[in-house]
Amino acid sequence: MNLSRWLLAGMGMAVLASGCGGRRSHAKVDFAQMGPSMNAKRYANLEKLAAKDLKCAEELTPTYLGENQYQMTGCNAEGVYELRCRVGQCGWVPDVRARAEFDLGCPRSQLSATRIDDVTAGVTGCGKRATYRALGRTYGVNWVLNSAVTEDSSPAADTAGAAAPL
């Protein structure tokens, strides 16, 4: 009975080691170019988060932006994610534009995010703007609307409306 358990466990480990465990291939990712905190496990978590966030089942293309920020691209969409670590425990901060897409009623591709400080970001797009605050610690960070959604009054919009007197 014990021998059959060992045999079954050994076969399971062989299947996982051969790449049939259902994970995506990281062969094209050079972790040495992905910043000091990246490793295979963290990358797998990033890929899983981005695939869900971008609604993309295809292979995603990573780009290291510096300061533990990563852009994931695929399925004609892109997202920016930040790896935050505290005492060796790391977690991913999702793209603020995923939340702003709903609040501003604007497609992510038309939104622009600006980091104000470590926990605050501003998002503009479709003639609107809003401020977001990151809540949570290393794990489970979420962006929460921190201001009213307002109409974006840019100088270009103001001069376009006053061009022709009636």
Write out pLDDT tens, residues 80-108: 999 988 887 888 999 999 999 999 999 99
Q: Which of 36, 27, 96, 97 shows the shortest CA–CA distance to 64?
A: 36
Contact status, residue 146 vs residue 140, Cβ threshold 8 Å: no
Q: Provide the whole-model pTM.
A: 0.71
Residue 47 pLDDT more than 90?
Answer: yes
pLDDT at residue number 140 = 80
Q: % helix / strand / coil in the chain, to the nearest 5?
A: 30, 30, 35
Indicate the pLDDT class of residue 16, thresholds 50, 70 and 90. very low
Q: CA–CA separation, 84 vs 145, rounded Å?
A: 21
pLDDT band of residue 153 (cuts 50, 70, 90) is: confident
Torsion of CA 155, 157, 160, 162, to 10 degrees: -80
Q: Looking at the DSSP assignment, which residues form a beta bridge with residue 158? A: none
Q: Identify the DSSP state of 83.
A: E
CB contact set of 13 (below 8 Å; sequence gap of 6+):
none
Q: What are phi and psi of 16, to 5 degrees?
A: -65, -40
Q: Which tokens is 89 given?
A: 């425990």
Structure tokens at 160: 């376009």
